[in-house]
């Protein structure tokens, strides 16, 4: 069964949704799932080197104080999933194109779920710059993905392919993530694992 997940790697709700989907999948141990990562960039015009997080919060929300209630709620929901977000450790909001490419590369070896988890963890818990090629290479190495293979995959053609997913999202009227395509069902937002499991069950019949 194929499940498509539109997500961005700096989206905390996407990390929560990722965790909830994994919990839902545990209910179907006899089912073979193919999880396809669909890149969605919350900030498609982000400079390649990213920007300081404090500056990003000013641009996006007017100030850190304005953003705080939303981040507090997100961290609270994350905590319910056993995810201990450490948002204060994040110093930079990165360009996420290369992180999406690493997940796409990992799909070729069926390691996308583990790589995606590690990228989320690196950003939201460890505060690492997941737009930095060296950080991503180290993540890849952890899962036996060769550095040369990563460097080769991080090319202009593949970057443009990631950017082309904007059009796919537009055609599907996707304006926010996470967004799940489970069979004939379309689910927006970090829904509960039980809701995701119900959608899976309905589409197995």
For the chain (205 residues), the mean pLDDT of every run of 10, in chain order, is 97 98 96 95 96 95 94 97 97 98 95 97 98 98 97 97 95 96 96 97 90
For residue 181, give the H/E element and its range. strand 179-182
Q: Confirm whether 62 is domain-assigned.
A: yes
What pTM was computed for the model?
A: 0.96
| Number of domains composing the chain | 1
Which pLDDT score is estimated for 128?
A: 98
| In a domain? residue 195 | no
pLDDT score recorded for residue 180: 98
Quick check: is 23 in a domain? no
DSSP string, 102-116: HHHHHHTTT-HHHHH
Q: What whole-number distance in Å separates Cα of residue 60 and Cα of residue 93?
A: 11
Domain membership of residue 127 (yes or no) is: yes
Q: Determine, yes or no, domain membership for 93.
A: yes
Residue 175 DSSP symbol: -
Alpha carbon distances (Å) from 165 to 60, 69, 105, 116, 150: 22, 30, 16, 18, 20
Full domain range(s) for residue 119: 46-154
Residue 116 forms part of a structural domain: yes
Q: Is residue 54 part of a domain?
A: yes
Instruction: Identify the CATH number of the domain in which residue 95 sits.
Output: 3.40.30.10
Residue 191 lies in a domain: no
């Amino acid at each position: 069964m194929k499940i498509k997940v539109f997500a961005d790697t700096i989206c905390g709700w996407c990390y929560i949704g990722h965790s909830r989907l994994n919990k839902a999948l545990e209910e179907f141990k006899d089912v073979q799932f193919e999880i396809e990562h669909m890149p969605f960039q919350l900030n498609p015009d982000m400079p390649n080197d990213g920007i300081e997080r404090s500056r990003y919060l000013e641009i996006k929300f007017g100030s850190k104080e304005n953003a705080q209630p939303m981040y507090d709620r997100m961290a609270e929901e994350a905590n319910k999933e056993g995810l201990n977000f450490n948002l204060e450790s994040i110093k930079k909001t990165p360009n996420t194109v290369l992180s999406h490419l690493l997940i796409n590369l990992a799909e070729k070896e069926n390691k996308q779920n583990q790589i995606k988890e590690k990228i989320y963890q690196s950003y939201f818990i460890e505060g690492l710059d997941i737009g930095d090629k060296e950080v991503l290479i180290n993540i890849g190495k952890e899962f036996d993905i060769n550095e040369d293979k990563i460097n080769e995959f991080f090319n202009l053609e593949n970057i443009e392919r990631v950017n082309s997913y904007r059009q796919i999202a537009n055609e599907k009227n996707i304006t926010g993530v996470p967004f799940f395509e489970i069979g004939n069902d379309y689910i927006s937002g970090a829904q509960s694992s039980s809701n995701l499991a119900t959608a899976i069950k309905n589409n197995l019949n």
